[in-house]
Amino acid sequence: MTGAKRGEILQNSMTYGLFTGAFVMHYGAEKVGILVIPAGPGNTERQINLMKDFGTNMLHITPSYALYLASVIYDKGFDPKRDFKLKRAYIGAEPYSEETRIKIENMLGIDIYNCYGLTEMNGPGVGFECPYKSGLHIWEDNFLMEIINPETGEPVPDGEIGELVLTTLNREAMPLIRYRTRDLTRVIPEPCSCGRTHRRITRILGRSDDMFIVKGVNIFPQQIEQILMGIKGVAQNYQIVLESYDEMTIKVEIDRELFDGKIERLIKLKEEIIDKIRSATMVKPKVELLEPGTLPVSEGKAKRVIDNRTI
């Protein structure tokens, strides 16, 4: 679909583990006859060495790491067009803007393709961009796609924004019928210049619930709330602040009545919060202890998640 072919080399810089993204791309590429380097994320120096030594043609990588990798390549004095054999990158697992795509494309001199998927649908193989890069073709021979109004549950006409609902058509072990992704998007009704008739959707525009994703992990504010409310020394008010896709900060007001003047107690309280949230979500949070009354008092529905991340 993007021109990848047998004999090419894919460097897979996604996390191998409980995250589906790396494996789906790995097995998919092998099926085509592509050599896969299971690099995993991080260790940027080694990534660059692998790219040089193997003559990597394709990267599968998150946008934030791609930007960092590109900047290190420049810092080391490499010219990506001269020193590497990179042609394209598949970027996903985090939302990113068109500006970010163009920036990475220009820095590395390659084409970047967006992909869409979710763990419940086996990962990244739900929708993919073609060389026209104007929306993601959903594999409609595998998934029945509906866009609904998340409040009424009624389908909306093509072109209108709504929640993406998917039904698997040929999955055997665990078929899912009308699975509500909670991802908001719209169908692009016009035919694509590439000639494919599978309908396209736009990038994901947001969520119809308050779930957020950090380090590839789906987290609901209620999970955090449940943990905090079970810890002695914590008051009612808290806030989750997101500044990047791999870190969350939890601001917690301490309980005025349980303050005993000992800083050791507060340090222990902070560690307890970090430990309990990490074991429940697999993400180690940053925790800030606040004076009671610091966080804005909510009127009606509390705004628990402050998402300052730009896409």
Rounded distance, CA 146 to CA 167, Å?
9
Per the CB < 8 A criterion, the answer to whether 144 and 165 are in contact is no
For position 292 contacting another protein by CB under 8 A, the verdict is yes
Pick from 246, 247, 288, 307 the residue near another protein by CB under 8 A: 288
Site size for another protein, by CB under 8 A? Answer: 17
What distance in Å separates the CA atoms of residue 236 and residue 257, rounded to the nearest whole number?
A: 12
Q: Which is nearer to another protein, 66 or 235 (CB)?
A: 235
Question: Residue 261 Cβ, how far from another protein at the closest point, in Å?
Answer: 3
Which one of 37-45, 115-123, 173-181, 283-291 is the stretch in contact with another protein (CB under 8 A)? 283-291
Quote the CA–CA distance of 128 and 105 in Å, as a whole number.
Answer: 17
Q: Report in angstroms how near the CB of residue 235 gets to another protein at its nearest.
A: 10
Residue 248 is a binding residue for another protein (CB under 8 A): no
Query: Which of 194, 290, 302, 311 lies at the binding interface for another protein (CB under 8 A)?
Result: 290
Q: Which 36-75 positions form the footprint of another protein (CB under 8 A)?
A: none
Q: What is the C-alpha separation between 34 and 19, in angstroms, rounded?
A: 21
| Closer residue to another protein, CB minimum distance, 154 or 260 | 260
Sequence-ordered list of residues with C-beta below 8 angstroms from that of 28, at least 6 positions apart, any chain: 125
Comparison of 196 and 251: residue with beta carbon closer to another protein: 251
Residues within window 256-275 making contact with another protein, judged by CB under 8 A: 256, 259-264, 266-267
Stretch (H or E) spanning 188: strand 187-188
- Say whether 283 sits in a helix, a strand or coil: coil
Residue 177 within binding range of another protein, rule CB under 8 A: no
Report the number of secondary-structure helices (H) and strands (E) in the chain.
Answer: 7, 19
Measured in residues, the chain has a length of 311
Summarize as ranges the residues that interact with another protein (CB under 8 A). 254, 256, 259-264, 266-267, 288-294
